[in-house]
């Protein structure tokens, strides 16, 4: 019996230990599960927190980016291209240049100046009768003709005519140029260009033809006058121009008198208009309607001012100045009309004039006096 009890006790001990082991194993498993769940939760929380932190860090960056993008970007400064001589001439001419002239200047800007070797080659070919060489030599110097003709504008001929005459002089120079003398073609051509322009001014700019030396003197005086006017900021006197050019005052006066141009009444104002000076000049034999309106309004204002005076003062003023009468009366005649002495009439007249001069009565009349 004792052996059975010991065996049973041993079995019970084994079973109890097994139960304890199983319980501990299950407990450890449950703890591990809980720890895993806790670690997962903490990792999720940490991830969320890190996301929030990164989001918070990125938000001001985005704001800064948006602020930076809100500011307008500075555009790169473009360098202006240098204007050609033809464009500079167009700018200086301004409103005086018409469409055909501006188109011509744009066309000649395509021609580039020649190098000395090419000039010599073309000059030799021109002597041999090569028309293409003549064309190339003249086209390369058309811009210089414009610069010369520009100095003579405002003397009776339009700039287009001056350029045409200068081009004729350029062609003459190209036909007579001697390349063997060793100087540039343009140095030789400038004299022919100026002579052609001066010849045109002498023949076509005035009713009475002037000699070339007179036209050259007038042009020289005009240039000196423009320089002195810019320097003094006023119109220069004849003695100042004479001192500048080392000429006599009588020569300056004679040249300025001759330089006065005559304008035709039938010449149109421009090529696009049909109206001429004759259409805008008033006829001396016909009354000006503006003058009639001016006088009628002045008469009305004078009567309104006289109505502010007393009756006797008004009558004395009208008699003395002949208003509404064929002629004015003297102080004695006015005194006989009213039975007053001459001195009393004078006093009434002076008093009435002083009242008319008052600002309240003379305000409207002052506009007619300027």
pLDDT tens per residue across all 370 residues of the chain = 444 444 444 444 444 445 445 555 554 555 566 555 555 555 554 555 444 444 444 444 444 444 444 444 555 545 555 555 545 544 554 444 567 888 888 888 888 888 888 888 998 998 888 899 999 999 999 999 999 998 888 777 888 889 999 999 999 999 988 888 888 888 899 999 998 988 888 777 666 677 777 777 888 888 888 888 888 888 888 899 998 888 898 888 888 887 766 666 777 766 666 777 777 777 777 777 777 787 888 888 888 888 888 899 989 988 998 888 888 899 999 999 889 999 999 999 999 888 888 877 777 777 766 5
177 neighbors 124 (Cβ within 8 angstroms):
no
Report the distance separating Cα 342 and Cα 16, nearest Å: 164
Query: Whole-prediction pTM value?
Result: 0.42
State whether CATH 1.20.120.1810 applies to domain 85-205.
Answer: yes
Residues of the chain with CATH 1.20.120.1810: 85-205
* Coil vs helix vs strand at 276: strand
State whether CATH 1.10.10 applies to domain 207-263.
Answer: yes
Beta bridge mates, 220 = none
52 neighbors 46 (Cβ within 8 angstroms):
no
Residues of the chain with CATH 1.10.10.10: 289-366
Fold of 289-366: Arc Repressor Mutant, subunit A (1.10.10)
Beta bridge mates, 276 = 268
């Amino acid at each position: 019996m004792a052996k059975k009890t010991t065996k049973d006790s041993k079995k019970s001990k084994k079973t109890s230990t097994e139960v304890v082991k199983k319980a501990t194993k299950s407990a450890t498993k449950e703890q591990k599960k809980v720890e895993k769940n806790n670690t997962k939760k903490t990792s999720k929380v940490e991830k969320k927190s890190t996301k929030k932190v990164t989001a918070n860090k990125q938000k001001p960056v985005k704001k800064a980016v948006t602020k930076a993008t809100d500011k307008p970007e500075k555009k790169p400064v473009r360098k202006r291209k240098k204007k050609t001589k033809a464009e500079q001439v167009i700018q200086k001419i301004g409103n005086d240049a018409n469409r055909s002239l501006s188109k011509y200047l744009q066309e000649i800007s395509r021609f580039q100046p020649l190098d000395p070797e090419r000039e010599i080659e073309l000059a030799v070919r021109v002597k041999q009768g090569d028309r293409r060489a003549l064309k190339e030599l003249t086209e390369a110097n058309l811009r210089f003709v414009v610069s010369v003709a520009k100095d003579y504008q405002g003397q009776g001929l339009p700039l287009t005519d001056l350029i045409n005459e200068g081009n004729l002089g350029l062609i003459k120079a190209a036909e007579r140029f001697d390349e063997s003398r060793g100087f540039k073609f343009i140095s030789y051509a400038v004299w022919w260009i100026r002579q052609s322009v001066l010849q045109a001014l002498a023949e076509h700019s005035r009713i009475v033809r002037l000699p070339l030396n007179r036209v050259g003197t007038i042009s020289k005086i005009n240039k000196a006058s423009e320089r002195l006017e810019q320097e003094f900021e006023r119109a220069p006197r004849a003695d100042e121009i004479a001192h500048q050019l080392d000429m006599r005052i009588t020569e300056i006066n004679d040249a300025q008198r001759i330089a006065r141009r005559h304008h035709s009444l039938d010449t149109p104002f421009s090529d696009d208009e049909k109206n001429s000076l004759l259409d805008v000049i008033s006829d001396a034999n016909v009354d000006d309607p503006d003058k009639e309106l001016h006088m009628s309004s002045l008469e009305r204002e004078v009567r309104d001012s006289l109505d502010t005076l007393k009756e006797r003062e008004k009558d004395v003023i009208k008699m003395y100045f002949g208003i509404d009468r064929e002629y004015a009366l003297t102080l004695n005649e006015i005194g006989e009309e009213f039975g007053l002495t001459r001195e009393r009439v004078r006093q009434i007249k002076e008093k009435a004039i002083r009242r008319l001069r008052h600002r309240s009565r003379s305000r409207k009349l002052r506009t007619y006096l300027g």
